[in-house]
Chain A
Amino acid sequence: AQSVTQPDIHITVSEGASLELRCNYSYGATPYLFWYVQSPGQGLQLLLKYFSGDTLVQGIKGFEAEFKRSQSSFNLRKPSVHWSDAAEYFCAVGPEYGNKLVFGAGTILRVKS
């Protein structure tokens, strides 16, 4: 069965510190992997995606993620967090040719000044 695990429900980091959000997936075929961000009461904004090729992908807002097939992981990173990054982050996996995404339960990021 397809599944996504985000082990950390909440993470708090200081402004300017580095960030890594963890994502592990279970998928039987070639996965398409995504990270989305959701601010309170809002829809989801696509941060970045991995389809194939270079396993380190760059996204918007200074985020990057690394696909590690051997670990079934797709962790999100940012070298220096800004207060405006406080939000909820979702990892998702989908099939090679689209249709439904399976989401993790999300990680809430808090940024302290």
Chain B
Amino acid sequence: DTGVSQDPRHKITKRGQNVTFRCDPISEHNRLYWYRQTLGQGPEFLTYFQNEAQLEKSRLLSDRFSAERPKGSFSTLEIQRTEQGDSAMYLCASSQEPPYEQYFGPGTRLTVT
């Protein structure tokens, strides 16, 4: 068990560009979560999947954001037409059900210039 992995770890992009992040959960975990963390704040929930189904989306997830988990394994989070306000750490977590405790990856730090 290698834990949750995320790629890339850092991404610098120019405003208006599209970016895509990948998350690989712990292999036996069927739930996968995305959170966003800005400086000085705790993580904020964005969305989660149970297997390949996206079951809940936060109002933080605007139309420019889309997440997929096509085969119930890895997930991607895409941000279209990035804005400076999108600069943040994007965290992925996974869990089994039960016991539902979430294990986090190292995060992808996005900087929009």
Q: How large is the interface on B (under 10, 10 to 19, 20 to 34, 35 or more residues)?
A: 20 to 34
- Tell me which residues across on chain A come within 8 A of B56, comparing CB atoms: 99-100
Closest to A97 in B: B100
- Tell me which residues across on chain A come within 8 A of B95, comparing CB atoms: 98
Closest to B41 in A: A105
> Bound state CA distance, A74 and B6, in angstroms?
30
Whether B102 lies near A101 (C-beta < 8 A) is yes
Contact of B42 among A42, A43, A92, A99 (CB under 8 A): A92
- Tell me which residues across on chain B come within 8 A of A104, comparing CB atoms: 42
Whether B106 lies near A42 (C-beta < 8 A) is yes
Say yes or no: is A41 at the interface (Cβ < 8 Å to chain B). Answer: yes
Interface residues of B in 23-39 (CB under 8 A from A): 31, 33, 35
Closest to A34 in B: B101
Say yes or no: is B21 at the interface (Cβ < 8 Å to chain A). Answer: no
> Bound state CA distance, A11 and B92, in angstroms?
28
- Of A14-22, A45-53, A63-71, A76-84, the stretch lying at the interface with chain B is A45-53
Whether B107 lies near A46 (C-beta < 8 A) is no
Closest to B106 in A: A43
CB of B102, distance to nearest CB on chain A (Å) = 6
Q: How large is the interface on A (under 10, 10 to 19, 20 to 34, 35 or more residues)?
A: 20 to 34
CB of B98, distance to nearest CB on chain A (Å) = 8
Whether A94 lies near B33 (C-beta < 8 A) is no
CB of A57, distance to nearest CB on chain B (Å) = 12
Closest to A90 in B: B42
> Bound state CA distance, A44 and B3, in angstroms?
12
Whether A102 lies near B45 (C-beta < 8 A) is yes
Name A residues whose Cβ lies closer than 8 Å to a Cβ of B: 4, 32, 34, 36, 41-46, 49, 51, 90, 92, 94, 97-106
Name B residues whose Cβ lies closer than 8 Å to a Cβ of A: 4, 6, 31, 33, 35, 40-45, 48, 55-56, 58, 91, 93, 95, 97-107, 109
Top 7 closest pairs, chain A to chain B, by CB: A103-B42, A98-B100, A100-B45, A43-B104, A44-B104, A43-B106, A43-B107
